[in-house]
A and B are shown apart, each in its own frame.
Chain A
Amino acid sequence: MLSKTAHLSPSKQLAMNYFRVAIVLFGAQLLFGLLAGLQFLFPDFLYNVLDFSVNRMLHINALVVWMLYAMLGSVYLMLPDETGIDHPVAIGLGKLAFWVLTAAVTVVVLVYLFIQIGPGKESTIWFINEGREYLEAPRWADFGIVVVVLIFYANVFFTYMKGKKTGIMTVMVADLLALAGLYLAGMFYTDNISVDQYWWWWVIHLWVEATWEVFVGTLAAYGLIKVLNAKREIVEMWLWIEVLMLFGSGILGLGHHYFWIGTPEYWWEIGALFSALEPVPLVAMFVHVLYDWGKEQGHVQAEGKRTAIKNGPAIAWISINAFGNFLGAGIWGFFHTLPQVNIYTHGTQFTASHGHLAFFGAYATILIGMMYLGIQESYGIERMKATFKSKMAIVLITFGVVGMTVALTIAGYEQVLVERAELGAGWQAYFTAQNLPWYIQAQVWREIMGVVTFVGFVYLLWDLLTIGKKEAAAE
């Protein structure tokens, strides 16, 4: 992953740069998650030094930013293949944007770590911390992100216009416009907390439950063609069906965040209906991946070859994505999406359990798969098999995240029943539930499974750094 990119097209070289930063930030996400998880068990650990709020902010911001990096990387990776153009129209600017973004992210992280908070003034919002979950990045960085994304988007759009216009790239170009535009909804300040959260959800929900999901659909389509030689017509038809179902359910599914924030009651019905439909496309995506795999495998076996798979680790991660997306985003989301349930589960560890499995299943998995595709090309490997380290990474990370999810689900159940249903929320109710042995036991298991995930990450990093050389030599 570190070298051997010289012969790649400029677009793919830039993709590898994005992947390199992404994997570092992924590590940071896990480290700060471990620190925050430890504070549930030892509340005095780093108290008043690196408080839970700081660790948690770094945990979720590193998550979002590494995913965005890996997403930009994935687009630059597929751009030459889909458009037939190796030099995106403004590749120089694209490279500059990468370094500007990376410098900005570094400054933001240092400010989060060492300044942490500011006085209750506009200047804090502009220069230190915006204090809105997931969108903590100060306003100056927001504008920086907008500029960088505009450069990126212009590059992709004009390259698309100049080259071939495949179905995959058409969906990608349209989806990226929506994705980038939605970020603007989070860039203003208001004293009205309900209006604040209304627009905040436009960014968060319409990213992770609409535009990011469609993005994943395009990556899966591209990945299946690359890894299995899947037939483009079938893949692209499925992609349009997925877009139909994802946007058809996900856009108005936004209503399930508008049950309790001061918004009118009609959101109960709208949010419940459309968000309940959100798992449907995820089933379709799951079926699609396994169907194509089986079909292509059947074709090559008929020709007397052993396997259709050209990239072992990538197909493994894409398959985990297909199942993890359905399980984490679909099932775990559906668990608590109806208002009749959500009035008790809203704002409990139940949400955290869903968040962990969904972000992993829907996004982390396929983005890791894209990194393996990038490495395969960097080293010009015809058929890249999974190594022992690839397999250890897959097993440990998946087992670790599922373990954390189960632990947090149990903590969530306990919290919902004791704190909410039995005691009716409030300060004392909250701590009564937090101090129960079953809750603490669940938090212990969450931390253990977090360590398992981290060990898996070490294997992943090690594999990404070595697999290219090893497999190239083997061929």
Chain B
Amino acid sequence: MAKNNASVWTSIRFWRRSAAWVTGVAVVLLIFLTFDTMSQIRMGTDKELEQGIKRRIPAPTVINHHIDYKYDEKRGMEVPVIGKKEPFFGKEWSPKEARALLHLGKLTVQAKNCMDCHTLLGNGAYYAPDLTKAWLDPMWEKTMPAMTGKKTKEEAMAEFLMHPGQYRTHARAMPNLKITPKEAMGVVAFLKHMSSIDTNGFPRGFSKVIKEGKTGGTYAK
């Protein structure tokens, strides 16, 4: 078959060369796209955040800002909206402090293996709710602060993370992961930062029905 081929379609040489070329072109394209994507998803700087320059992944100091997730007519999806400054755990965090807190939070999220129950940006396990926009979840507005006896959303989240077994909302409860108060603050900062990432509209219609209270039918309020 190797020699004197009746047709190129039965030539091993032809297919071997085609395989090499196609693979090579795909790899080159992937590397090119990776460079472009890396420049777009690097973490923004504090200066860019101050000047209102939109980054797909904002600087850690975004934890000093109010964050919302609003429908954008032009893009046809919800996008994170970074608003006015608001205190986070009762203070404004300097760039250095914010970076350190986010670092601690991300490390804790990995050390406690959150991803083998929850999903982060939709990736992980499916035993517990997705955490992509957990910071914006309506449960943290009134229900959980009341349950944990805390005044603010971030304090309620930290309290819940430290003693999840005490605040069960469903039969399936989060285990006790021995999270320290400092680590809990870090995880909350990580979650708040993650909610500010532009995820191309995922998850779509986030908690829309519950927020607007128009569940209708059997569940009508």
Q: Taking beta carbons and an 8 Å cutoff, which residues of A are in contact with B?
A: 36, 39-40, 43-44, 47-48, 51-54, 56-57, 116-122, 124-125, 128-133, 136, 167, 189-195, 197-198, 200, 233-234, 236-237, 240-241, 243-244, 247-248, 251-252, 254, 257-268, 270, 343-344, 346-349, 351-352, 420-431, 434-435
Choose one: A47, A124, A191; the contact of B111 (CB below 8 Å).
Answer: A124
Nearest CB on B from A214, distance (A)? 9
Is B10 close to A, CB under 8 A? Answer: yes
Identify which of A192, A252, A259 contacts B42 (C-beta below 8 A). Answer: A192
> Once the chains bind, are A262 and B197 in contact (CB under 8 Å)?
yes
B167 adjacent to chain A (CB < 8 Å): no
The answer to whether B112 and A426 have CB atoms under 8 Å apart is: no
Given the complex, which residues of B lie within 8 Å of A36, measured CB to CB?
127
Q: Let me know if A428 and B207 touch, CB within 8 A.
A: yes
Of the A-B pairs whose beta carbons lie under 8 Å apart in the complex, a sample of 8, sorted by A's number, is: A51-B117, A116-B113, A119-B180, A136-B113, A262-B56, A270-B33, A427-B207, A431-B172
Flag whether B203 is at the interface (Cβ < 8 A).
yes
A424–B136 Cα gap in the complex (Å)? 13
Flag if B170 contacts A435 (CB, 8 Å): yes
Q: Which residues of A contact B111 (CB under 8 A)?
A: 117-121, 124-125, 128-129, 131
Chain A CB within 8 A of B158 CB: no
- Closest-by-CB residue of B relative to A42 is B171
**Cβ-defined partner of B210 (8 Å) among A200, A352, A423:** A423
Closest B residue to A349 by beta carbon equals B126
Most-contacted residue by chain A among B34, B169, B203 (CB, 10 A): B203
Contact, CB under 8 Å: B207 / A247: no
User: Does A47 contact B203, Cβ atoms closer than 8 Å?
Assistant: no
- Residue of A whose beta carbon sits closest to that of B99: A191
0/1 string, B175-219, CB within 8 A of A gives 1: 111111001001000100010011111111111111000010000
Chain B residues with Cβ below 8 Å from A116 are: 113
Query: Which chain B residues in 135-173 approach chain A with CB under 8 Å?
Result: 137-139, 165, 169-173
CB atoms of B41 and A427 under 8 A apart? no
Residues of A within 8 A of B137 (CB): 426-427
Pairwise interchain contact A258-B37, C-beta atoms closer than 8 A: yes
Dominant secondary structure at the A interface: helix
Apart from A233-B12, A257-B123, A263-B40, 11 more pairs, CB < 8 Å: A133-B125, A193-B197, A243-B19, A243-B23, A262-B197, A268-B200, A346-B122, A424-B203, A424-B204, A424-B210, A430-B128
Least CB distance from B116 to A in Å reads 4
* Contact with A197, one of B102, B121, B130, B134 (Cβ below 8 angstroms): B121
Is B15 a contact partner of A52 (Cβ separation < 8 A)?
no
The complex places the Cα of A233 from the Cα of B2 at a distance, in Å, of 8
Residue pair A193, B113 in contact (C-beta under 8 Å): no
Residues of B within 8 A of A247 (CB): 19, 22-23, 26
Which B residues touch A125, using CB under 8 A? 107, 110-111
**Contact indicator A131/B115 (Cβ below 8 Å):** yes
A420 with B194: CB separation less than 8 A: no
**What total count of A-B pairs have CB within 8 Å?**
274
A429 contact set on B, CB distance < 8 A: 207, 209-210
Least CB distance from B179 to A in Å reads: 8
* B220 interface hit (Cβ, 8 Å): no
Number of residues from B at the complex interface, CB < 8 A: 92
Q: In the complex, which residues of chain A have a beta carbon less than 8 angstroms from the beta carbon of B210? A: 423-424, 426, 428-429
**B202 to A424, Cβ gap below 8 A?**
no
Chain A residues near B129 (CB-CB < 8 A): 425-427, 430-431
Q: Is the CB of A237 within 8 A of B10?
A: yes
Whether B19 lies near A48 (C-beta < 8 A) is no
**Contacts A43-B172, A125-B107, A195-B42 known; A56 to B206 CB distance under 8 Å?**
no
Q: Give the residue name and chain of the A residue nearest to B184 (CB).
A: A120
Chain B, residue nearest A43 (CB): B172
Chain A residues in 8 Å Cβ range of B116: 52-54, 56-57, 131, 133, 136
Contacts of B207 in A (CB 8 A): 423-429
Whole-angstrom distance between the alpha carbons of A254 and B30 in the complex? 9
For the complex, give the distance between the alpha carbons of A266 and B29 in Å.
Answer: 13
B202 contacts A259, C-beta separation under 8 Å: yes
Most chain B beta-carbon neighbours within 10 Å: one of A167, A426, A430, A435: A426
Chain A: minimal CB distance from B39 (Å): 10
Q: What's the least CB distance linking B184 to chain A, in Å?
A: 10
A194 touches B183 (CB 8 A): no
Min distance, Cβ A156 to any Cβ of chain B, angstroms? 20
Report the separation of the CA atoms of residues A420 and B156 in the bound assembly, to the nearest whole angstrom. Answer: 26
Q: How far is the CA of A43 from the CA of B36 in the complex (A)?
A: 44
Evaluate whether A261 and B199 lie within 8 angstroms (CB atoms) in the complex, with A47-B175, A129-B113 already known: yes
Query: Shortest Cβ distance from B40 into chain A, in angstroms?
Result: 5
Cβ of A243: which chain B residues have Cβ within 8 Å of it? Answer: 19, 23
A382 to chain B, nearest CB (A): 29
Contact between A420 and B57, CB atoms less than 8 A apart: no
Q: Which residues of A contact B178 (CB under 8 A)?
A: 117, 119
Residues of B within 8 A of A240 (CB): 12, 15-16, 18-19
Chain B residues, Cβ within 8 Å of A260: 121-122, 132, 199-202
A430: chain B residues at CB < 8 Å are 128-130
Residues of B within 8 A of A351 (CB): 126
Interface centre among A40, A56, A131 (most CB of B within 10 A): A131
Q: Which residues of chain B are within 8 angstroms of A128 by Cβ–Cβ distance?
A: 111
Docked pose: A446 CA to B16 CA in angstroms: 43
Which of these, B36, B120, B138, B204, contacts A264 with CB under 8 Å?
B36
| Contact for B1 among A194, A233, A241, A434, CB less than 8 A | A233
Decide yes or no: A434 and B204 within 8 Å by CB, A194-B56, A240-B15, A427-B129 being known contacts.
Answer: no
A244 engages B22 (CB within 8 Å): yes
Report yes or no: A422 in contact with B209, Cβ–Cβ below 8 A: yes
A262 touches B110 (CB 8 A): no
B34 neighbours in A (Cβ, 8 Å): 198
A252, B29: Cβ atoms closer than 8 Å: yes
